[in-house]
Amino acid sequence: MRRIFNLTYNIICSNLGELPNPYRLTFAVTNRCQAQCHMCNIWQKTVENELSLEEIELIFSRYKKFSWVNLTGGEPFMRDDFTEIVRIIDKNSPKLYLLNFPTNGYLTDVIVMAVREILDKMSVPRLIVTVSLDGPRELHDRIRGLPGSWDRAIATFRQLRQLSSRRFSVYLGYTLQDVNLDAFEDTMLAARQEFENLTYNDVHVNIAHISEHYYANTAFNGIPKTDAAEKLLGQISEARQRRLFDPVSFIEQRYQKLLSIYQETGRVPLTCQAAAASCFVDPEGNVYPCSSFASPLGSFRRMDYDLDAIWSSNSRHTMRQLIRNASCPGCWTPCEAYQTILANLFSRR
């Protein structure tokens, strides 16, 4: 109860004013990935010089205020010490309530074993996993550049679903882009042939984004056309079941609605919480406001693994002012949108 109270307290305070310290972290633990996705070039980036377990321990032992941690990649499970990373975070984060991470689902046995270990041996109260599925079998494998990835993703989702509980949830993740804009219903049909009771609530729809420092995809030209994307997002939103008193359902509904506004305007629809309630850390320990703004706040390796020192720096204050003034690239990825939604609960948008 204490952990969910801390998260709730941070959310309430973020609605009343700017938080002095972040409660949410997105940590890309590796650039390694088996897939060669059309919309993402992380797999082409260097894989040397990742933060070691000892360095990760230093970071989390010196900053204990995170209530929500999102681990990402690359493919997180390409690090064979992934569960040890989670153990370090769990051990050193007395306020941690929610841990979530995406996966391409390719390493089914490794992923399922890791989730079992986290649930059995660690104290994280709430765990959420998203398995990527970007089309029916042929299209998904083509987008991912990895033959057999659809079947692996389905197998992983199936086994993780068997572990579902009040503590653990698993979703399918659909990254919307030009090439699969008209394939969403076919994807749902294909997935329902595998899972008869699958609903729209079991699928999270994100939209492809450009990021110089994270996705390294500035040359990507497959962002979906605004009108067509808005129409599809509206249909998906209408099809989703509204579940009272379910915070995940609320965030998803709000995200989908505001995603349409972002598509129409090209700007963040609410005052973003990057470099205030949250930050992004790359595999080498560089700290950024978010996954889209390629202006580092500092480096853990150069700042003695001390996030408080980075947070009190002139760089962080300067970047935060730019974000408040909407002078950043602007994005609406889940990594940034969720805490922004929660900090604007009384917005009429």
At residue 136 the predicted structure's pLDDT band, cuts being 50, 70 and 90, is: very high
Q: What's the rounded Cα separation, in Å, for the pair 180 and 127? A: 29
Whole-structure pTM value: 0.94
Peptide bond into 148 cis (omega under 30): no
Is it the case that residue 246 has pLDDT exceeding 80? Answer: no
3-state class of 142 per DSSP? Answer: helix
Q: How far is CA 282 from CA 27, 170, 267, 339, in A?
A: 6, 24, 24, 19
DSSP string, 210-227: --TTTT--TT---PPPHH
Predicted pLDDT at 244: 60
- Separation of first and last alpha carbons in the chain: 31
Strands 68-72 and 24-28: parallel
Q: What is the residue type of 194?
A: E
- Least confident among 13-27, 249-263, 264-278: 249-263
Q: For residues 27 and 281, is the Cβ–Cβ distance under 8 A?
A: yes
Q: What's the rounded mean pLDDT across residues 292-309? A: 97
Residue 245: per-residue pLDDT: 60
240: pLDDT confidence band, cut at 50, 70 and 90? confident
**Tens digit of each residue's pLDDT (9 = 90 or more) over 55-86:** 999 999 999 999 999 999 999 999 999 999 99
Cα(219)–Cα(313) distance, rounded to whole angstroms? Answer: 32
Average confidence (pLDDT) over 149-164: 98
207 has which bridge partners? 176
Residue 290 neighbours by CB under 8 Å, 6+ apart: 26, 272, 274, 275, 278, 279, 280, 328, 331, 333, 335, 336
Any idea what DSSP says for residue 265? H
